[in-house]
């Protein structure tokens, strides 16, 4: 089943019943079908807006019975428009009407429907003194961010990935059956949805273990304009800092690299959040081993320190515009291409790899007319909660990660067209690193920064878990209803799922 040709629209609409659905030609269709990444223009066959799990079930059955590819859209932030099907003719089940958040007053476990955005979840949990680890983009949907492929954020070194905090989930399967997946029930499905959920079903609600929030913290963003040699030594020092046994898990941060002021220079950004208390002295003691070897940050480039409560720190870090609430606000779009690189903790980056990357960014990068950024996120370090989870506990395939690189380039006005030379710019950054590492270097890629040009994506995204994911796909969705670019493929011989 690879196309929607021959679908009887009349019978399809009848099967949908009362589920509100938008079709091409409807007034709402252009806005409903717009991609977050404007590099992609995708025309779905239809977009449904169910209001509860039962309506999701009705929608999936209607799509499957009419030979349509079915995809879920939680926040719609897929880098390659997978939440629109990734190619024309898919049936999108948009979850934006599923907004309930219920927090148990005794356990503080939270049932969160998957139409919720991260910023609104933060505000609801904060009212109960609770929190979750996740990224800082307020408009990202919890469904894709958590169950899809991971969910990293500044609190992750102390609390793990978003998916590590899932206790159970309500899942609608390809035949419309509604199940609760947990360690005790449908455990294989529970394993698979924590790392690859959109290939197996549509998750409508997730029960999370939440955490008592720290009393406060500090968000920081510190900038320097550096020559290539200084930038190289600075990042090498950050790698040593990240591997220090004295670095607490309450520190979450990254290094960013941006275009510098002149050829042969780059801008270095050190930013993140420290969670402990609003006493900035605690933050200062934590980062002093790294900052002591650097000049004073350049305030003219935007350096800042914000100390305050848990929610004030989240707001300071939040994108866009430092505002957590998404209610009544419009999401932003961009025209971009991104790649990722996950580096193993047991084989740190060599000085040659760091130096060649900075050389490339300070020369070839400076000459580019595009906006570009390299974000080097700290996953690992001693006692990191991300790497403490046993590899086979979830479908997430990288539990020995020190850094995840997000390599990003976009048009200056965030609008199409996107130039072909931009792909080569990003590919060159990756090559500058990998060509200076051992031939057997076991690096990976992060599927939340999904790349439609990535070769060997099965191994790079999922590692040794891919064959198990294939078997699970063959068992749960043998007709490949949930299909999109870089979805889990069907195996040659499905196994029996219990």
Q: Find tokens 């589920």 and name the residue.
A: 19
Judge if 177 and 267 occupy the same domain. Answer: no
CATH, residue 179:
3.30.465.10
Q: What is the pLDDT of residue 3?
A: 38
Judge if 158 and 221 occupy the same domain. Answer: no
Q: What is the pLDDT of residue 498?
A: 29
- 64 in a domain, yes or no? no
Judge if 231 and 147 occupy the same domain. Answer: no
Interatomic CA distance for residues 430 and 460, integer angstroms: 14
Judge if 193 and 329 occupy the same domain. Answer: no
* DSSP summary character for residue 321: T
Interatomic CA distance for residues 153 and 386, integer angstroms: 11
* Residue of 355, 413, 146 whose CA lies nearest to 231: 355
Strand order in the sheet with 217-227: 304-308, 217-227, 265-275, 251-259, 371-378, 401-410, 336-344
Q: How many structural domains comprise the chain?
A: 2
Judge if 283 and 182 occupy the same domain. Answer: no
CATH, residue 244:
3.40.462.20
Residues of the chain whose pLDDT is less than 50? 1-4, 493-498
Q: What is the pLDDT of residue 321?
A: 79
Q: What is the pLDDT of residue 123?
A: 98
Beta-strand (E) ranges in 229-313? 251-259, 265-275, 304-308
- Is the link from the previous residue into 213 a cis peptide, with omega within 30 of 0? no
* Residue of 180, 173, 181 whose CA lies nearest to 200: 173
Supply φ then ψ for residue 492, to 5 degrees: -70, -35
Residue that terminates a domain, selected from 437, 455, 473: 455
Judge if 254 and 389 occupy the same domain. Answer: yes
Judge if 175 and 281 occupy the same domain. Answer: no
Q: What is the pLDDT of residue 495?
A: 36
Judge if 303 and 205 occupy the same domain. Answer: no
Q: What is the pLDDT of residue 496?
A: 38
Cβ 221 vs Cβ 304: under 8 Å: yes
pTM of the entire predicted model: 0.96
Judge if 294 and 439 occupy the same domain. Answer: yes
pLDDT tens for each residue of 2-51: 334 567 899 999 999 999 999 999 999 999 999 999 999 999 999 999 99
- 270 in a domain, yes or no? yes
Q: Which domain holds residue 107?
A: 101-212
Judge if 273 and 185 occupy the same domain. Answer: no
Judge if 238 and 387 occupy the same domain. Answer: yes
Judge if 185 and 226 occupy the same domain. Answer: no
- The residues pairing with 233 across neighbouring beta strands, listed in sequence order, are none
Cβ 101 vs Cβ 116: under 8 Å: yes
Q: What is the pLDDT of residue 148?
A: 66
Cβ 335 vs Cβ 415: under 8 Å: yes
* DSSP summary character for residue 153: -
């Amino acid at each position: 089943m690879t196309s929607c040709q021959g679908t009887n629209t009349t019978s399809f609409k009848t099967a949908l019943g009362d589920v509100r659905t938008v079709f091409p030609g409807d007034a709402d269709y252009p806005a409903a079908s717009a991609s977050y990444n404007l590099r992609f223009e995708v025309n779905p066959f239809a977009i449904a807006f169910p209001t509860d799990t039962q309506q999701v079930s009705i929608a999936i059955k209607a799509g499957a019975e009419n030979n349509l590819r079915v995809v879920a859209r939680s926040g719609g932030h897929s880098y390659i428009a997978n939440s629109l099907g990734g190619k024309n003719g898919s049936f999108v089940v948009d979850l934006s009407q599923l907004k309930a958040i219920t927090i148990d007053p005794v356990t503080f476990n939270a049932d969160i429907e998957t139409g919720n955005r991260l910023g609104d979840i933060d505000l609801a949990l904060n009212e109960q003194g609770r929190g979750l680890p996740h990224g800082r983009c307020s408009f990202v949907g919890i469904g894709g961010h958590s169950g899809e492929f991971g969910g990293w954020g500044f609190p992750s070194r102390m609390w793990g990935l978003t998916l590590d905090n899932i206790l159970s989930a309500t899942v609608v399967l390809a035949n419309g059956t509604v199940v609760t997946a947990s360690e005790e029930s449908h455990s294989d499905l529970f394993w698979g949805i924590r790392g690859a959920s959109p290939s197996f079903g549509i998750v409508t609600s997730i029960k999370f273990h939440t955490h008592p929030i720290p009393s406060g913290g500090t968000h920081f963003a510190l900038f320097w304009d550096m020559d290539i040699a200084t930038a190289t030594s600075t990042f090498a020092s950050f790698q040593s800092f990240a591997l220090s046994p004295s670095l607490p898990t309450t520190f979450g941060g990254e290094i960013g690299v941006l275009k510098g002021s002149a050829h042969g220079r780059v801008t270095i950004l050190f930013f993140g959040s420290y969670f402990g208390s609003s006493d900035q002295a605690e933050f200062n003691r934590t980062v002093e081993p790294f900052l002591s070897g650097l000049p004073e940050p350049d305030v003219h480039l935007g350096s800042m320190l914000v100390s305050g409560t848990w929610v004030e720190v989240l707001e300071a870090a939040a994108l866009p515009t430092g505002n957590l609430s998404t209610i009544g606000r419009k999401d932003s779009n961009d025209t971009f291409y991104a790649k990722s690189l996950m580096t193993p903790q047991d084989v740190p980056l060599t000085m040659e790899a760091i130096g060649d990357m900075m050389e490339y960014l300070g020369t070839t990068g400076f000459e580019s007319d595009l906006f570009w950024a390299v974000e080097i996120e700290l996953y690992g370090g001693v006692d990191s909660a991300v790497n403490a989870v046993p590899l086979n506990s979830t479908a997430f395939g990288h539990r020995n990660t020190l850094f995840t690189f997000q390599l990003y380039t976009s048009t200056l006005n965030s609008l199409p067209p996107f130039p072909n030379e931009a792909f080569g710019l990003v590919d060159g950054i990756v090559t500058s690193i990998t060509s200076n590492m051992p031939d057997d270097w076991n690096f990976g890629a992060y599927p939340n920064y999904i790349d439609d040009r990535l070769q060997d994506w099965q191994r790079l995204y999922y590692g040794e878990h891919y064959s198990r994911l294939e078997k699970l796909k063959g068992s749960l969705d043998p007709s490949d209803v949930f299909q999109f670019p870089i979805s889990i493929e069907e195996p040659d011989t499905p196994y029996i799922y219990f």
